[in-house]
Structure 1
């Protein structure tokens, strides 16, 4: 008898970590120390405005410059704030397999629901070594794994055939996709049950339309309700409205992610301008200047006024 999974695919895969996830910034005090009170307040606001999941300690969360202790403290503080119904995924990826395993175990102890594992950067391992790295991390803890495919930062693509093989592991359940390879992404979607999350805000609707589970959005730091509404409209069958909302967000997406400053810098600048918890960035990043912050605020105001 033919297995239905071999001939047809359900319209929407499981959502192991929710649908509308924000790649949350890590708030710091003006002195540069971890601002746990600010993190609690920001997390609560993001959830209240439409996020059903948060990604902590990721690229936008400045994970390269936070300590292992700070990472664990952030998870615990946010978990205590948002409760058990909001998914918390935490970045544990490093250039060192052993360190990544240690962070995964610490994340499990701190209360995370899953781990985000980026390809080891700088060393650029070949695909067999990359596959072994992810499998070792997946075996290390009981937490489900979201792979993070962002070759523009790591220098190494998680090739579609590698993703297809990794999908056989019971704890490798999702992908944050910043590959900019839409064909490759569709190949994996068609052949696995991996839950894909758009990691680039300009791809939120496009990826969702071909079967993604949702998004991990940087722009959601400042407009969580708008991001959620794009997906709400699509789920309701109003694809024209979903497209309209995605296009309306395009100027802010460009200003925050494609206009020369890293998304961490623009997110914190705009959050600060709106009076929300953020604080400065840590070196080697530099906070946005006044002119850049004012420009971001103007684009934001245009979107929310529309």
Structure 2
């Protein structure tokens, strides 16, 4: 997820730096935004600890996404989080780890503004969702949707990823035909996150952009930013690897980063080594079941698990409700959750 010195300011706290952080296939996590219990101000210490925990495990950070409650963050808070992430990564010697920042907003104008602010703060890439407020006018309007992503990508100083999440955009669901057009015609687009969960869409799009001729016919503006096709869930990671998918941006990686990275490694290896496929499928089953179970409890459930496992998490910003105590206990004690926790502790080297 890189921007080099020719594409704008990028570096710690917005300082200009000639740093290349390529966007590579793998596992990325939408990082939660943590809040102090009384004031609901940002809890930067917890945020930095979590970014570092995940990056150490090989998970790339996505700041101010849906899991990060971007809708509840001001422009200034988004900037603060990007700066904090870049600072803690650099201080840990992880200067090569890129940052994706959510920059979706209500209007095209504000979205572009957020892209510029994110780049200045130290983000390497942005991810943009269409606003669902006027979904009635946009959902069936291919021309308007195409114009939105075309203009945003043209005016953003750093590469832009399309975020297709009907559940958070009033039902707007971008089909594979339009995504293919955007990938072909917009050189500053660097991929798509498919939180629609449409495996067929992933297969069609990945088949197109993985063609050897695609890169030569449709070169990217930034050579470090190829067009990646990423799942928005991790429950179909192994099948997507065999269909030329490039990994996933998954909330589950917040809870079990080492497990998610291990699954990606096995999935990739199984493409060329069939002997690995059985183990990849076994772990995919564990992860897929846990993902389905934990996702039901949304942001508050993930934060509860982080509190339980790592000592930080807290509550979402109001009006999002906290998880009810009975629901938290049910989720924690569920066999799917416990199977995941056991594997994560083994892979991370912990003895419990």
TM-score, normalization: structure 1? 0.89
Bigger drift between 64-73 and 138-147 goes to 138-147
Name the structure 1 match of 2:172.
156
2:193 is the alignment partner of 1:183 = no
Residues of 2 paired with 1:56 and 1:150: CA distance?
A: 16
Name the structure 1 match of 2:327.
292
Does the residue aligned with 1:87 lie in a helix, a strand or coil?
coil
Residues of 2 paired with 1:213 and 1:175: CA distance?
A: 10
1:284 to partner: Cα distance? 2.0
Which structure's relative contact order is higher, taking Cα pairs within 8 Å and 6+ residues apart? 1
1:251 to partner: Cα distance? 3.1
Structure-to-structure mapping, 1:221-260, within 5 angstroms:
221-237=254-270, 238-257=276-295, 259=296
Residues of 1 paired with 2:131 and 2:142: CA distance?
A: 11
Gaps spanning 5+ residues in structure 1: where?
1-14
Q: Does structure 1 retain, via aligned residues, the 8 Å contact 2:256–2:340? A: no
Q: Does structure 1 retain, via aligned residues, the 8 Å contact 2:102–2:128? A: yes
1:17 to partner: Cα distance? 4.5
Residues of 2 paired with 1:234 and 1:202: CA distance?
A: 12
Q: Does structure 2 retain, via aligned residues, the 8 Å contact 1:55–1:91? A: yes
Indicate the RMSD between aligned Cα atoms, in angstroms.
1.6
Residues of 2 paired with 1:224 and 1:248: CA distance?
A: 14
Residues 226-267 of structure 1, C-alpha deviation per residue, up to 9 Å, x if partnerless? 00011111223312111111101233212211x3x32x1211
Name the structure 2 match of 1:198.
231
Give runs of ≥4 in structure 1 deviating > 4 Å: none
1:91 to partner: Cα distance? 0.6
TM-score, normalization: structure 2? 0.78
Name the structure 2 match of 1:88.
99
Does the residue aligned with 2:99 lie in a helix, a strand or coil?
strand
Does the residue aligned with 1:42 lie in a helix, a strand or coil?
helix
Gaps spanning 5+ residues in structure 2: where?
1-21, 211-226, 271-275, 344-352
